[in-house]
Amino acid sequence: MHCACRVSRSLNTESQPLITVTPRGLYCPPGDFYIDPWQPVQTALITHAHGDHLRHGSARYIVARPGEGIARQRLGSGHAVMAVDYGAALALGGVRVSLHPAGHILGSAQVRIEHEGRVWVVSGDYKRQPDPTCAPFQPLECDVFVSEATFALPVYRWPPTSQVIAEIAQWWQANRERGIASVLFCYALGKAQRVLAELQAFADEPIYLHGSVTTCTETYRRAGIKLRPTLTVTSERKKDYRGALIIAPPGASGTPWMRRFGEHSSAFCSGWMRVRGDRRRRGYDRGFVLSDHADWPALLETCRATRARRVLLTHGHSDALARYLNEQGIEAAALETAYGAED
């Protein structure tokens, strides 16, 4: 933890940090706004619509335009949502703010803050692998880079997406030959749609979705994202799911909802599946290493690409990445935040 102490001192001596951690979340004092606050605030800039980043109760939300539909759907009615184009400058308080693609899910954004000649960038969650459902991450030069560090250990290196998608297709095919259903657990927002888009190359029969996945999938379709045909798993009909592929959120695993599929093979799509113990503990048959976060090499490459003088880290293995970057000559420290580690 020596690195964290060292940098927090230098944080304190800096005339005016553009981002500080407050009990309500990441706050920009000169702009008087929060980024992904975990408590209600006046103005919330949102990096993306996952539950640990987009929370109810704030007076005003600012999101990147491609993510507007998802943000409105997740917040429900009665919330003021303002959409801005990627790259468009906004004046908030005394600062110039813009949102830039983060490549995490549809509409995910990095927040670039410029004030009196200094630039800070908050990455939000991001990945560097191509994803047909969202705009690719764009490295931004800055003085201070606030990066996520969910998978910041060198054991996390992602295989090429095409290889993982081929493994999923083979697993589905093998289960079909055995006459059983394949249940693929994915986060309902983002990962599920990425898989649906990537699977377009394999056959064209419909894939079945859990209701919560359908809701997000329809929002993606309304935003113009091309996905495989889908059907929703319903309770009314006595349907035969043998040979079918079903996409469901991890929360559905082990619930009575699963009974309708009879004998089936289960799998989970996540960066956490890189480690065997994580897969075995969760009791899935298969784990597919498909993540919407940056892996270790991508985190290092991105921190260097921003040419930041200082890197501040949120989520997961922040301390390890901070210490490693310090040893590599890049000043870095971990920030205490309330974001989760879902993938």
How many of the other CB atoms lie within 10 Å of CB of 236?
5
- The end-to-end CA distance of the chain, in Å, is 26
Q: For other proteins, give the closer residue by CB, 94 or 154.
A: 154
Q: How far apart are CA 68 and CA 52, in angstroms?
A: 17
Q: For other proteins, give the closer residue by CB, 126 or 272.
A: 272
Q: For other proteins, give the closer residue by CB, 134 or 273.
A: 273
Residue 227: CB partners within 8 Å, gap ≥ 6?
133, 193, 196, 197, 200, 217, 220, 221
Q: For other proteins, give the closer residue by CB, 55 or 317.
A: 317
Q: What letter does residue 65 receive in the DSSP assignment?
A: G
Kindly provide the b/e burial profile for residues 291-329, where b requires at least 16 CB atoms within 10 angstroms of the residue's own CB: bbbbbbebbbebbebbebebbbbbbbbbbbbbbbbbeee
Q: Of 4, 61, 151, nearest to 21 (Cα)?
A: 4
Residue bearing tokens 């009665």? 78
- Work out whether 154 is an interface residue with other proteins (CB under 8 A): yes
- Work out whether 285 is an interface residue with other proteins (CB under 8 A): yes
The contact mask relative to other proteins for 157-196 (x = CB under 8 A, - = no) is x---------------------------------------
Q: For other proteins, give the closer residue by CB, 1 or 80.
A: 1
> Pick from 275, 305, 338, 341: which binds other proteins (CB under 8 A)?
275
The contact mask relative to other proteins for 224-263 (x = CB under 8 A, - = no) is ----------------------------------------
Q: What letter does residue 135 receive in the DSSP assignment?
A: P
> Pick from 87, 229, 283, 340: which binds other proteins (CB under 8 A)?
283
- Work out whether 320 is an interface residue with other proteins (CB under 8 A): yes
286 forms bridges with which residues in the sheet? Answer: 267
Stretch that binds other proteins, among 100-108, 151-159, 240-248, 252-260 (CB under 8 A): 151-159
- Work out whether 133 is an interface residue with other proteins (CB under 8 A): no
> Pick from 155, 224, 237, 336: which binds other proteins (CB under 8 A)?
155
Q: How far apart are CA 294 and CA 301, in angstroms?
A: 10
Q: For other proteins, give the closer residue by CB, 157 or 176.
A: 157
- Positions touching other proteins (CB under 8 A) are 153-155, 157, 265, 274-277, 283-286, 317, 320, 323-324, 327
